[in-house]
């Protein structure tokens, strides 16, 4: 069976059609029961990933050095799209895979070959630890220190807003190996095991009650120097490559998931009387979703072709936030008091809370628009005049 799937890596459309048929026949056995907490949610995702890796479908899009069958970003975007079309949610750990794995393959192929197969096969969950209490959007100002001492890097500092970091086996972490004045030129990327002595993690509880993220503390944490991703002080280049996939592939993943959520909501609303306000909200949400979908297809195509996707990926982030907020706003205006009080709407309430922050985290909408104005449209700086 896996030999046949490997042949599908030669053509994206053939892969899509075969995967769609297989998922239709196995859907019931792939959908996990609703998770009672974040830990079970991540465990469910790892189990799904493991099943699809062993079956061969998830191996398409990844190089043979990692146990994959070849192919690229278009195959992987197709995989996520078809999961959601079948009514199966994308595991949260796959969001980290698409940000971390391409950068590791590019900058540290030996490290990637050793460790990435465990991530891809659903044996481990990983996370990226970039943001700090005073270094969110301004990544170049991070303070977590990494001192190179012989064959080790000694890490001290704090990270925050690390998605499922308290449940991860490893963290791809940015540390400052240069001076504070060196800004982006003095940053190094490290793969740090979370069971390393000196690593402490504390979950962060959202307004929804979900421990979505965590803050991580490093106290004299000793990391083997061969865990560097790229060389010393090359962390900014690593982060910029990761950013391409965080903008492009994440948008492709998230729009597929949002499409699933909108379809689920419309199936529910089909049996309820909704007013003109809700109808208008549905139309606006659908248009926003189609916009980000069209944009994501373009960006993934460029990634698949090996193009460098720089500032042009910022619109993907802006459009995705708009779509996510619009879709969850449909649930709010359509359900009225039920959205607030009914236990059945708890998942939608949590999604609504999360959607409010999508235009802030990962680079706020204002920053993304400034990047587009300065780097893409090359508009005149207002401080310089027209």
pLDDT of residue 289: 97
pLDDT grade, residue 384 (50/70/90)?
very low
Supply the pLDDT for residue 191: 98
Rg (CA), the chain: 21
Q: What does the alpha-carbon distance between residue 334 and residue 285 come to, in Å, rounded to a whole number? A: 13
Domain ranges of the chain: 2-124, 127-233, 237-376
For 193, the enclosing helix (H) or strand (E) is strand 187-193
- For residue 273, the model assigns a pLDDT of 63
Q: Which of 159-168, 231-240, 360-369 has the lowest mean pLDDT?
A: 360-369
Give the span between the Cα atoms of 109 and 224, in whole angstroms.
16
Span 198-223, pLDDT tens digits: 999 999 988 777 898 999 999 999 99
Please state the pTM of the whole predicted model. Answer: 0.92
Sign of CA dihedral 277, 278, 279, 281: positive
pLDDT of residue 386: 43
- Give the span between the Cα atoms of 217 and 140, in whole angstroms: 19
pLDDT number for residue 285? 96
Domain 237-376 maps to which CATH number in 3.30.420.10, 1.10.3720.10, 1.20.1370.20, 1.20.140.10?
1.20.140.10
CA distance 166 to 213: 7
Residue ranges of alpha helices (H) inside the chain are 2-8, 12-30, 38-55, 73-85, 92-107, 109-120, 235-269, 276-304, 314-335, 337-341, 346-356, 365-371
Question: What does the pLDDT look like over 118-162, one tens digit per residue?
Answer: 999 999 999 999 999 987 668 889 999 999 999 999 999 999 999
* Pairing of the two strands 199-204 and 213-224: antiparallel
pLDDT in tens, 6-58: 998 889 999 999 999 999 999 999 998 888 899 999 999 999 999 999 999 99
Taking residue 71's Cβ as centre, other Cβ atoms within 10 Å add up to 23
φ/ψ of 232, rounded to 5, equals -60, 135
- Measure the CA–CA gap between 374 and 108, rounded to whole angstroms: 32
Pairing status of strand 213-224 against strand 145-149: unpaired
How would residue 276 be classed by pLDDT, with cut points 50, 70 and 90?
Answer: confident
Cα 48 to Cα 32, 45, 62, distances in angstroms: 8, 5, 17
Residue 385 pLDDT:
47
Residue 271 above 70 pLDDT? no
**With contact defined as beta carbons under 8 Å apart, do 158 and 209 qualify?**
no
User: Following CA atoms 181, 159, 161, 292 in sequence, which dihedral angle do they give, to the nearest 10 degrees?
Assistant: 50
DSSP state of 376: I
Whether 78 and 12 have beta carbons less than 8 Å apart is answered as yes
The structure tokens 């802030």 sit at 360
pLDDT given for residue 207 in this prediction: 73
CA-nearest of 178, 190, 64 to 117 is: 64
Question: In whole angstroms, what is the distance from residue 3 CA to residue 120 CA?
Answer: 19
Number of other CB atoms surrounding residue 34 within 10 Å: 9
What is 2-124's CATH superfamily? Acyl-CoA dehydrogenase/oxidase, N-terminal domain (1.10.540.10)
**pLDDT over 90 percentage in the chain:** 71
C-alpha to C-alpha distance for 214 and 128, rounded to whole angstroms: 11
Question: Which of these CATH numbers, 3.40.50.150, 1.10.3720.10, 3.40.1160.10, 2.40.110.10, describes 127-233?
Answer: 2.40.110.10
Mean pLDDT of all residues belonging to the chain: 91
């Amino acid at each position: 069976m896996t030999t046949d799937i490997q042949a599908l890596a030669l053509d994206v459309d053939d892969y899509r059609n075969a995967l769609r048929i297989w998922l239709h026949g196995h859907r019931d056995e792939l959908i996990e029961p609703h998770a009672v907490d974040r830990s079970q949610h991540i465990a469910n995702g790892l189990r799904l990933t493991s099943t699809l890796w062993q079956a061969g479908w998830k191996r398409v899009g990844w190089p043979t050095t990692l146990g994959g069958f070849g192919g690229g970003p278009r195959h992987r975007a197709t995989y996520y799209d078809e999961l959601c079309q079948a009514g199966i949610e994308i595991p949260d750990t796959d969001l980290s895979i698409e940000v971390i794995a391409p950068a590791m393959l590019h900058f540290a192929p030996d490290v990637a070959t050793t460790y990435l197969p465990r991530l891809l096969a659903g044996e481990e969950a990983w996370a990226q630890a970039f943001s700090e209490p005073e270094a969110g959007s301004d990544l170049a100002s991070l303070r977590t220190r990494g001192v190179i001492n012989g064959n080790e890097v000694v890490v001290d500092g704090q990270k925050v807003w690390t998605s499922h970091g308290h449940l991860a086996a490893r963290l791809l972490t940015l540390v400052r190996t240069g001076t504070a004045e060196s800004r982006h030129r003095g940053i190094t990327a490290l793969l740090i095991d979370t069971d390393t002595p000196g690593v402490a993690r504390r979950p962060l509880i959202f307004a929804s009650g979900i421990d979505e993220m965590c803050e991580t503390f490093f106290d004299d944490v000793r990391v083997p120097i061969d865990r560097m991703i790229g060389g010393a002080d090359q962390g900014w280049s690593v982060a910029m490559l990761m950013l391409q996939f965080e903008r492009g592939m994440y948008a492709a993943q998230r729009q597929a998931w949002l499409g699933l959520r909108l379809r689920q909501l419309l199936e529910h609303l089909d049996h309820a009387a909704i007013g003109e306000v809700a109808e208008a909200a549905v139309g606006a949400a659908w248009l926003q979703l189609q916009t980000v979908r069209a944009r994501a297809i373009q960006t993934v195509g460029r990634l698949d072709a090996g193009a460098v996707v720089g500032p042009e990926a910022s619109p993907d982030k802006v459009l995705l936030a708009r779509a996510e907020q619009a879709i969850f706003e449909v649930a709010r205006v359509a359900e009225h008091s039920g959205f607030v009080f009914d236990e059945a709407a708890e998942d939608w309430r949590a999604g609504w809370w999360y959607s409010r922050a999508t235009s802030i985290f990962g680079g706020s909408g204002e920053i993304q628009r400034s990047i587009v104005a300065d780097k893409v449209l090359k508009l005149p700086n207002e401080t310089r005049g027209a």
